[in-house]
Amino acid sequence: MGALLERGHSVHYLAVMPFPVIHPHCHFHRFPWPRNKTERLPFWIAFHFLAPLVLIFLGIRYRIDRVFAFGANYGFLLQPVRLIKRTSLCLFLRADNIRNHALKGRSRFLLVTERLIEGLGIHDARVHAVSDALKEATIERHRFFEPQSSGILPNNIERVGELNDHPIRYSLPVRLACVGILEKRKNQRFLLELMERIRPEQAQLYLYGIGPDEKLLKQMSQEKRLMKSVHFMGWLAERDIWTNVDLLLTPSLHEGAPNAVLEAMARGIPVLASDIPEHREILPPESLISPHSELLWLQRLQKLIGKPNMELQKMSETQFRYAKRLQFDWNEIICKHILNP
């Protein structure tokens, strides 16, 4: 969750479980709650009431001079200690939780509550979002709450291989993949509709991930008799995914920071994605298609798998310069943002 930065750049943070970070200057403070009972409403109610008090105590005890958080919710919890210590709050936004809740059909009460918490979280903070679309959507939602400043810090690609380092020879069937949580906003149902129109000997679809739509998607696959061309792979390590992918399909209705897209681009794997604001910021126009146009997706896919050695290679080369643009040291830049007044 949000963290407090002590003079001397020691970091103190409050959580139920420690982060997987071992460093002499990173200090974990345990929130008093059973670690295996954090999914239900009582925990979140207690957390939102008690965490600000604990953070105030930690802020005073360790004489912190910076506070930062990932997510407006944790920014909200840090606002009291920020005001008491008269310091700045640096807030990093990686996803649009309100949009995600709306797509999942959550209650109006939850949406209103989340919106209020978000507004309080960004107020008078130095806000950095992973995309311009996320920054604008967040700020435009609030009339009475305004950040001190706002900017963009996109997710990065650590290393991009040199173009044509390892020329790929594609063979049929082309291995299509969708990587991510199986849920409505990722739009995997749309891909199953497409696979009805593609012969198994042309292409195979591999769904990597688990999620609330898994049962529904498997049932849909059986009803459409797609068992020979659609494969549910579950969660696998990166090394077991990308070596088995020829083309990544990302027909999402909404995205925050599409890490799967960045991982594919870093490896020279071409990406065909939905034409939404978040994808427009990291992919060329020819890689984007409306997430609602089955006909356009089908036509594009048939062209790609019809001549994969020509079309997929060309697509990869076009995306290469976009990948290079996203290659930078994210840790170095985020530290500058946190430490700058």
- Rounded to whole angstroms, the Cα distance separating 207 from 244 reads 12
Domains and CATH numbers, the chain: 3-155+329-339 (3.40.50.2000), 174-325 (3.40.50.2000)
Kindly report the number of other CB atoms within 10 A of residue 154's CB atom: 20
Q: What is the pLDDT along the chain (341 residues), one digit of tens a residue?
A: 678 877 667 899 999 888 877 888 889 999 988 888 888 888 988 999 999 999 999 999 998 988 999 999 999 999 999 999 999 899 999 989 898 888 888 899 989 999 999 999 999 999 999 999 999 999 999 989 999 999 999 988 877 765 555 456 788 999 999 999 999 999 999 999 999 999 999 999 999 999 999 999 999 999 999 999 999 999 998 889 999 999 999 999 998 878 899 999 999 999 999 999 999 999 999 999 999 999 999 999 999 999 999 999 999 999 998 998 888 888 888 888 887 76
Report CA 315 to chain centroid distance, whole Å: 23
User: Can you give the three-state secondary structure of the chain, one letter per residue?
Assistant: CCEEEECCCCEEEEECCCCCCCCCCEEEEECCCCCCCCCCHHHHHHHHHHHHHHHHHHHHHCCEEEEEEECHHHHHHHHHHHHHHCCCEEEEECCCHHHHHHHCCCCHHHHHHHHHHHHHHHCCCEEEECCHHHHHHHHHCCCCCCCCEEEECCCCCCCCCCCCCCCCCCCCCEEEEEECCCCHHHCHHHHHHHHCCCCCCCEEEEEEECCCCHHHHHHHHHHCCCCCCEEEEECCCHHHCHHHCCEEEECCCCCCCCHHHHHHHHCCCCEEEECCHHHHCCCCHHHEECCCCHHHHHHHHHHHHHCHHHHHHHHHHHHHHHHHHCCCCHHHHHHHHHHCC
- Rounded to whole angstroms, the Cα distance separating 154 from 281 reads 9
pLDDT of residue 341: 61
Q: Which two tokens stand for residue 310?
A: 């020509």
The torsion angles phi and psi of 338, rounded to 5 degrees, stand at -70, -45
- Owner of token pair 């609602």: 292
Q: What is the pTM of this model?
A: 0.85
- Rounded to whole angstroms, the Cα distance separating 195 from 189 reads 10
* Relative orientation angle of helices 294-306 and 308-325, to the nearest 10 degrees: 110
Residue 268 exposure: Cα atoms within 13 Å on the Cβ side: 14
pLDDT of residue 220: 96
pLDDT of residue 214: 96
Selection from 77, 70, 92 nearest residue 47 by Cα: 77
pLDDT of residue 161: 65
Q: Which two tokens stand for residue 238?
A: 């990166």
pLDDT of residue 162: 56
